[in-house]
Chain A
Amino acid sequence: MNQPAPSPSSPKLPVNLAANPKLSSWLKFLPQGQVTVSPGKVEIGQGIVTALAQIAADELDIDISRVQMVRASTAVSPNEGVTSGSLSVQQSGRAMRHACAEVRQIFLQLASERLGVDIASLGVEDGTISGPGNVTTSYWELAEEVSLDRDAAPDVKPKPATRRVLAGNSVQRIDIPDKVFARTRFIHDWALPEMLHGRILRPEKSRAKLTGLKDGNVRAMSGFVAVVRDGSFAGVVCETEHGAEAALQALRKGAVWADGEPLPDESDLAAFLKAAPSETTIIDKRIASSPGAKKRTLQRQYTRPYIAHASIAPSCAMAQWNGDRVHVWTHSQGVYLLRTDLALVLKLPAENIIVEHMEGAGCYGHNAADDVALDAVLLAKATGGRPVRVQWSREAEMSDAPFGAAMAIEIEADLDAEGEIIDWRHSIWSNGHVARPGRAVQPALLAGFELEDPFPRMISTNPPQANGGGGDRNAVPLYDFPSWQIESHRLTTMPIRTSALRTLGAQGNVFAIESFLDEIATERDEDPVAFRLRHLTDERAKDVIRAAAERARWKPEKQPGIGYGIAFARYKNTGAYCAAVAEIESAEDIRVRKLTLAVDVGEAINPDGVINQIEGGAIQATSWVLKERVRFDRQRITSTNWTEYPILRFSEVPEVEVELIQRPEMDPVGAGEAAHGPVSAAIANAVFDALGVRVRHLPITRESIIAAMGSTL
């Protein structure tokens, strides 16, 4: 207690560098003028590998073509946890920038000694270090004399923003040429020597137990290698993928299942969520210094359904055993976290397991990547050391992977005689939004729940508000209401498996808050842009709203069948600012014609990369809002293909305009999840503008519009 508090001015290492301080774990110099850069974050379709290469090249003063990015692996990479939450540039980027700045400094120091010139007179150009009198050396000439097996020191300062050459520019993504020329990058396209193919048998009825398995016909099939069964987990391994598919069909015929566990009533999600056992947390409370006089209370309820990740590729993994050691190839978002869970299931020390990342299809959260990795590991036990590749089916991907959690949100606002908000109460009923691997004493992997000696099914939880919250993400208003109470009811049962999907609860909460605000502004006959600006104090927030409104020429003249809506959020209340204006057309269905967005991510390392992420987020959110809803009856998930779970198509995609407000002097934050909430609410508000109908239950379809007519709740 008597220790002096650390001085606030003493320099600190970026968090991920402090956790992985050895410089050589971040970068190494190769003899032929190359540098390998090894982040713990992974490419999931968001372009992070390019952004990190830009940061490294900038700080080292080398051409970006000299940078070779290393895929994350528990064998070599720094442990940067999970690639999620729009934190990669923020966390990994800062660590990389600092590590490279320090390495540059170490080399300059040595160059100064070798060349006999003052360090301050040295400059670096594409890795060549030169000083007065044409003395030169280079990183690569000096590399043998420098050991980077040393801990990072906090007192090195990276370059100021004004001296960065690459960061802030739209460098072309380094992975794109491979992808348009079909050079192997995806795990799905990889083939290991002697590789076998596996398929997993899972029940149609939710969580049904496997009580019998006749596999005689399977064993007689050509190319058959093994049937693996452990409790309700079962799978088959064959020489070819085609053979494995055929064997799975045969195995299914011989399977006997007990009844599963009942699913909730899909037609009344709010009733289910509000009646289920839950744990209540007060997320935030603000008390007015002088409470206003309440004239009346408005109360509204909003819901969003379960949403599927629905990646275009089904999840895939490869595994190979060597004695009691196993090597796993995965498109997981967190190689170390997956390793932790594999160690729990296999009852092996983590050191016996190497988990190596390979790219999969676009990843929008905790999908089945980790599950299929355990599937492959379990099947590969039966092959005498030959590697096994397992790929899920489309149906499995759409029903057995975790979903984004359904939410019911109730907001009450007390208004005074002038219709001003004097108190705001926001309540959320939802399963937790995170059940990721590697964070608990029990594993989060599907097969782990199915074994003869099973692990308990993990019930999703919510990260604390300090980490952005979960179901309550973005539930605390950004507006200056005098008092509020935000509470979260997290379900303690989980009949439908949920975990992290892009934005966690933010999409639902922003949809609710921004819809309700629009309704209150309309009742007051006040312009929704002016209303929001009047209740905000943060200038960066106001700037994105003004920029989006201006760019969309807010508010265009009324035309029949056309509507305009606006919404705003700052992701996690600490991340990217984003405002969206939606223009919709109401015909037989709702069609979003145009989305105009303004976004502020602080320093944009790769502006086109940020715009690409915002465009993608806006289009994905449009798909969620207009089309998406996981369907189920009381026994099984029924939306197991693209007909039953449609997503937005080319002919339905809106035009998207993005204005990026550049702030190179501010810390960079991620862009991947900033657009979903604002776009969702902007569309709903535009639907009201066109039709005079408030749709409070997603998705917004012809049916939900008809149901909303005449309903005030």
Chain B
Amino acid sequence: MPSVRFRLNGVEIDVHADSDRSLLDILRGQIGMTGPHFGCGAGECGACNVMIGDRAVAACDTPLWSVADKDITTIEGLGTPERPHPLQRAFIAEQALQCGYCVAGILMSAAALLKRNPMAGSREVKEALDGNLCRCGSHNRMVRAVLRAADEMAAE
């Protein structure tokens, strides 16, 4: 079995698996990291988004071989209750979800945006989240939360 090496939430990791398998399958299965959620398996909903470098990508649509030597961040690596990422604080402050199933992916899309463009405004946020589907209709709260986090990060 080939081995693919990458950094997951800051930790070097070696995965032995068929390198055509999807990153999501490896994360949720072999590694047991269930933050990224399965939604469609076709890269259409964003529930499984993770950050590779400063880009959000759908893990279900990303073959394992393509992440060799890359830096991958999942929601588990974003922050903790003790040391939350400003986005996590903002999503709580804005009560920016209903069911929350899509949120793991949305947080990663937003984190990637703010990494690339800390000054992002409402239009950029909506563009960055356009590949993420939310069925409960919490969109406006989520946009507000991302802008709040951006403000907080700018003030730091």
Please determine whether chains A and B interact with each other in the same assembly. yes
Q: Which residues of chain A have a CB within 8 Å of any CB of chain B?
A: 44-47, 170, 172-173, 175-177, 179-182, 184-186, 188-189, 191, 240-242, 310-314, 359-364, 391, 393-394, 608, 612-613, 615-620, 623, 641-643, 647-651, 653, 655-656
Contact A180 B101 (CB under 8 A): no
**B119-154 interface bits toward A, Cβ cutoff 8 Å, 1 = contact, 0 = none:** 000000111011011111111111100000000000
Contact A181 B37 (CB under 8 A): no
Residues of A within 8 A of B38 (CB): 188, 313-314, 391
Does B45 sit at the interface, judged by CB under 8 A?
yes
Question: Quick one: closest B residue to A185, CB to CB?
Answer: B100
Contact A179 B34 (CB under 8 A): no
Contact A181 B140 (CB under 8 A): no
Q: Known: A312-B47, A313-B101, A649-B130. Contact between A240 and B138, CB under 8 A?
A: no
Contact A312 B135 (CB under 8 A): yes
Residues of B within 8 A of A618 (CB): 137
Residues of A within 8 A of B141 (CB): 612, 615
In the complex, which of the residues A242, A608, A617 contacts B21, with contact meaning CB atoms closer than 8 Å?
A: A242
Contact A650 B132 (CB under 8 A): yes
Having A361-B135, A653-B139, one finds 11 other A-B pairs with CB under 8 Å, namely A172-B92, A182-B34, A188-B38, A312-B134, A313-B39, A393-B41, A616-B137, A618-B137, A619-B140, A642-B40, A642-B42
In the complex, which of the residues A241, A359, A394 contacts B40, with contact meaning CB atoms closer than 8 Å?
A: A394
Q: State the interface size on chain B (CB cutoff 8 A).
A: 54
Bound state CA distance, A186 and B132, in angstroms?
A: 19
Residues of A within 8 A of B136 (CB): 45, 362, 616, 620
Contact B139 A619 (CB under 8 A): yes
Residues of B within 8 A of A617 (CB): 137
Does B4 sit at the interface, judged by CB under 8 A?
no
20 pairs from A and B in contact (CB 8 Å cutoff) = A170-B95, A176-B100, A177-B81, A180-B87, A180-B92, A180-B107, A181-B81, A182-B74, A312-B37, A312-B134, A314-B39, A394-B39, A612-B141, A615-B140, A616-B98, A619-B139, A650-B127, A650-B142, A650-B143, A655-B140
Contact B44 A240 (CB under 8 A): no
In the complex, which of the residues B34, B40, B125 contacts A184, with contact meaning CB atoms closer than 8 Å?
A: B34
Bound state CA distance, A392 and B106, in angstroms?
A: 22
Contact A182 B101 (CB under 8 A): no
Residues of B within 8 A of A648 (CB): 139
| B98–chain A nearest beta-carbon distance, Å | 4
Does B103 sit at the interface, judged by CB under 8 A?
yes
In the complex, which of the residues A173, A647, A655 contacts B95, with contact meaning CB atoms closer than 8 Å?
A: A173
Bound state CA distance, A47 and B35, in angstroms?
A: 21
| A673–chain B nearest beta-carbon distance, Å | 13
Contact B97 A179 (CB under 8 A): yes
Bound state CA distance, A269 and B97, in angstroms?
A: 35
Bound state CA distance, A172 and B25, in angstroms?
A: 34
Residues of B within 8 A of A175 (CB): 100
Contact B37 A180 (CB under 8 A): no
Residues of A within 8 A of B39 (CB): 312-314, 394
Contact A45 B98 (CB under 8 A): yes
Bound state CA distance, A643 and B136, in angstroms?
A: 19
Residues of B within 8 A of A170 (CB): 95
Bound state CA distance, A179 and B107, in angstroms?
A: 11
Contact A612 B103 (CB under 8 A): no
Contact B102 A615 (CB under 8 A): no
Question: Quick one: closest B residue to A613, CB to CB?
Answer: B98
Contact B100 A179 (CB under 8 A): yes
Residues of A within 8 A of B103 (CB): 179-180
Bound state CA distance, A180 and B45, in angstroms?
A: 18
Residues of B within 8 A of A182 (CB): 34-35, 74-76, 104
Question: Quick one: closest B residue to A642, CB to CB?
Answer: B44
Bound state CA distance, A184 and B76, in angstroms?
A: 11
Residues of A within 8 A of B40 (CB): 394, 641-642
**B63-106 interface bits toward A, Cβ cutoff 8 Å, 1 = contact, 0 = none:** 00000000000111001110010011001100101111111100
Does B32 sit at the interface, judged by CB under 8 A?
yes
Contact B129 A650 (CB under 8 A): yes
Q: Known: A362-B99, A650-B130, A651-B127. Contact between A615 and B45, CB under 8 A?
A: no
Question: Quick one: closest B residue to A361, CB to CB?
Answer: B101
Question: Quick one: closest A residue to B125, CB to CB?
Answer: A650
Residues of A within 8 A of B28 (CB): 241
| B99–chain A nearest beta-carbon distance, Å | 3
Bound state CA distance, A297 and B27, in angstroms?
A: 64
| A173–chain B nearest beta-carbon distance, Å | 6
Does B2 sit at the interface, judged by CB under 8 A?
no
Residues of A within 8 A of B133 (CB): 312, 642, 647, 649
| A314–chain B nearest beta-carbon distance, Å | 7
Does B10 sit at the interface, judged by CB under 8 A?
no
Contact A612 B100 (CB under 8 A): no
| A292–chain B nearest beta-carbon distance, Å | 43
In the complex, which of the residues A173, A181, A612 contacts B79, with contact meaning CB atoms closer than 8 Å?
A: A181
Q: Known: A241-B29, A312-B133, A361-B99. Contact between A615 and B138, CB under 8 A?
A: yes
Contact B37 A313 (CB under 8 A): yes
Residues of B within 8 A of A623 (CB): 137
Residues of B within 8 A of A313 (CB): 37-39, 47, 101
In the complex, which of the residues B76, B80, B95, B140 contacts A176, with contact meaning CB atoms closer than 8 Å?
A: B95
Bound state CA distance, A642 and B21, in angstroms?
A: 22
B29, B98, B99: residue with the most chain A Cβ atoms closer than 10 Å = B99
A45, A241, A618: residue with the most chain B Cβ atoms closer than 10 Å = A45
Contact A44 B99 (CB under 8 A): yes
Bound state CA distance, A608 and B94, in angstroms?
A: 10
Residues of A within 8 A of B32 (CB): 191
Residues of A within 8 A of B130 (CB): 649-651
| A232–chain B nearest beta-carbon distance, Å | 25
| B127–chain A nearest beta-carbon distance, Å | 7
Question: Quick one: closest A residue to B81, CB to CB?
Answer: A181
Q: Known: A173-B95, A391-B38. Contact between A181 and B45, CB under 8 A?
A: no
| B106–chain A nearest beta-carbon distance, Å | 9
| A308–chain B nearest beta-carbon distance, Å | 10
| A144–chain B nearest beta-carbon distance, Å | 34
Contact B34 A189 (CB under 8 A): yes
| B43–chain A nearest beta-carbon distance, Å | 10
Bound state CA distance, A355 and B127, in angstroms?
A: 42
| A681–chain B nearest beta-carbon distance, Å | 18
Question: Quick one: closest A residue to B128, CB to CB?
Answer: A650
Bound state CA distance, A4 and B125, in angstroms?
A: 67
Residues of B within 8 A of A643 (CB): 44
| B7–chain A nearest beta-carbon distance, Å | 18
| B79–chain A nearest beta-carbon distance, Å | 7
| A395–chain B nearest beta-carbon distance, Å | 9
| B2–chain A nearest beta-carbon distance, Å | 16
Bound state CA distance, A160 and B10, in angstroms?
A: 54
Residues of A within 8 A of B47 (CB): 312-313
